Amino acid sequence: MLHRLLRGGCSPLLCIWVLLLPLVSLNQHGHRNHNVRDQSKLLLVSFDGFRWDYIDRVPTPNFRKLIDEGVMVEQVENAYITKTFPNHYSLVTGLYTETHGIVANEMYDPILNRSFSMETDSIYDSRWWEEAVPLWVTIQKAGGRSGAAMWPGSDVKIHGMFPNQYLRYNASMSFETRVEHIIKWFSAPKEEAVDFGVLYWEEPDESGHRLGPQSPQMDVVIFGIDQKLGFLIDELVKAGLYEKVNLIVTSDHGMAQLSPDNIIELDQYVSRDLYTWVDKSPVVGILPNQGKLEEVYGKLVDANPNMAVFKKESIPEHFHYQHNVRIMPIIIEAKEGWTVVQNRSSPFMLGNHGYDNTLRSMQPVFVARGPSFRRNYVKTSMHSVDLYPLMCQILYIRPLPNNGSLLNVIDLLSPDITPSTPSAPPRVTSYSYAPVVGSLLGVVMVLGFLVVYIRQVTLKQLPSLKHRRREMSQPLLQEDLHL
Ligand SMILES: [Zn+2]
């Protein structure tokens, strides 16, 4: 971890703080102490498919209010593939999809010999989700409480737990009713109130698919989402929660415009008898029949210039999309705006997502506001996996190993909650030998790190960007802050 901090260009003081953070934020049992509960409430809201630039397209006074009173990140690179289930699980685990195991909305697991589809009850099989631990489980194990309104995966028993309060998925439940539940859970008597809430809404994704993001009709949809955000803000104000609860509003992905002229028909290139079609466009998972991998790959690889065809081992490392048995031996990635089907009888949509996560059209909005956040602050970029360590910091929870970096996003938080401020609340109520020994070890490590840092700066031997990129491609960075 020290090397990672160094390469991240962190200042020595900031590094010392990060290294000591676990010692000051947890008591000797690894639990949060009750003094901080009231100051660290957090509500994470996802408007599915809300592209980053939608807020500039029509008047969005409620998004603007949150930005004026809080923070905005202009560019959020989400997780590949840019689909709903994979990205919602990345937001609450801080893991790339290959690591948390929800690699697509439609999956096949050759070990379980089971298929997963967001359209069926297969999603309630815990085994799909248990390669990772969502934040609500970690909070509850640390003595906190959580509530979930329809967030993907939140109505599944994961590692033996549901959120303390949750709603079984029901697409017909209105946004307003979901908000009522969230408000009730945060407003409950102190011992029952949730510390962490997640709220999911299906729009503007559904309209984006149906109309295409370039449709003028999307203006009305986007304005409607802003109105829903206004409703949430009003309800938080009415309940006396607006100044107490940190509110993060983001999304899983953006949306690209499609055209009926930009369709690739696989039947033109390879027989259906040779493979199983596992996941849908624009990143199609192909499972060749036994012994047919080379034949299928050979027929597809140069078949159409508007799609890239990868054997699993050749998927570009920056996608972090290789190291899981649920990723198929061949994947086809359509170019932005193109659709891959078997033939034209397949249903067609005017908008879609799932493409390369570095495309701006695939990236989500991100705004946040509350007692932990700075005010009127705009940040250039972050990765969506960085949100997890940020949320753990707000909630005073020790993060599990993850692919994100708190250092990348620490500037979003108000200086008032950093330990460098004398008025920062005490976060340890009791002492044992363990934290004392831990602190001494921490000091030794920090001194060691400073020696290495000074030496490296002196010798101008900091690693190259190329080297850093190679490190970033590892399946799990484990930037846990453990000493
Ligand atoms: Zn969608």
Nearby residues of 7 by Cβ (< 8 Å), 6 or more positions away = 462, 463, 468, 471
Q: How many CA atoms lie within 13 A of 228 on its CB side?
A: 24
What span, in angstroms and rounded, lies between the C-alpha atoms of 188 and 159?
26
- 199/245 Cα distance (integer angstroms): 14
Which of these, 48, 58, 366, 47, lies nearest to 218 by C-alpha position?
A: 58
- How many A from CA of 269 to the centre of ligand 1? 27
- Decide if 84 is catalytic: yes
CA distance 352 to 409: 29
**Residues near 465 by beta carbon (within 8 Å), at least 6 away in sequence:** none
Spacing, Cα 111 to ligand 1 middle (Å): 28
Closest of 427, 425, 382 to residue 407, by C-alpha? 382
**Cα distances (Å, whole numbers) of residue 472 to 8, 99, 147, 318, 400:** 11, 13, 33, 8, 18
Tokens of 272: 């259906």
Structure-block tokens of residue 225: 């989402």
pLDDT exceeds cutoff 50 at 32: no
How far is 195 from 188, CA to CA, in rounded Å? 11
Neighbours of ion ligand 1 (CB under 5 A): 205
Amino acid of residue 456: Q
Strand partners, 71: 368, 377
Q: Is the confidence at residue 141, as pLDDT, over 60?
A: yes
Task: Name residue 114's beta-bridge partners.
Answer: 109
The size of the chain, in residues, is 483
**Domains of the chain, with CATH numbers?**
2-28+432-481 (no CATH), 34-95+132-255+357-429 (3.40.720.10), 263-352 (3.30.1360.180)
d(CA 89, CA 269): 35
- Cα separation, 44 vs 42, in Å, equals 7
Q: Is the pLDDT of residue 206 over 60?
A: yes
Q: What is the pLDDT of residues 273-332, one digit of tens each?
A: 999 999 999 999 999 999 999 999 999 999 999 999 999 999 999 999 999 999 999 999
What spacing in Å lies between the alpha carbon of 326 and ligand 1's midpoint? 20
Residue 1's identity, in one-letter code, is M
Taking alpha carbons only, the member of 220, 230, 253, 313 closest to residue 50 is 253
With CA atoms as reference, report the closest residue to 7 among 473, 433, 329, 464. 464
Q: Is 467 in a helix, a strand, or coil?
A: helix
Looking at residue 347, what is its pLDDT? 81
Report, as an integer, the average pLDDT of 181-194.
97
Q: Which amino acid is at 238?
A: K
Q: What mean pLDDT do residues 430-452 have?
A: 50
C-alpha 337 – ligand 1 centre gap (Å): 14
pLDDT band, residue 401 (cuts 50/70/90): very high
CA angle 164, 165, 169 (to 5 degrees): 125
What's the gap in Å between 173 CA and the centre of ligand 1? Answer: 18
**Of the residues 60, 82, 84, 99, which is catalytic?**
84
* Cα–Cα distance for residue pair 7/303, rounded to 1 Å: 42
State in Å: Cα 301 to ligand 1 middle.
27
392, two tokens: 């753990």
Q: Which two tokens stand for residue 347?
A: 């249903």
Residues 6 or more apart in contact with residue 455 via CB below 8 angstroms: none
Tens digits of per-residue pLDDT, 329-365? 999 999 999 999 999 888 889 999 999 999 999 999 9
Question: How many CB atoms sit inside 10 A of residue 464's CB?
Answer: 9
Q: How confident is the model at residue 460 (pLDDT cuts 50, 70, 90)?
A: very low
Average of pLDDT values for 145-174? Answer: 97
Both tokens of residue 156?
């599944």
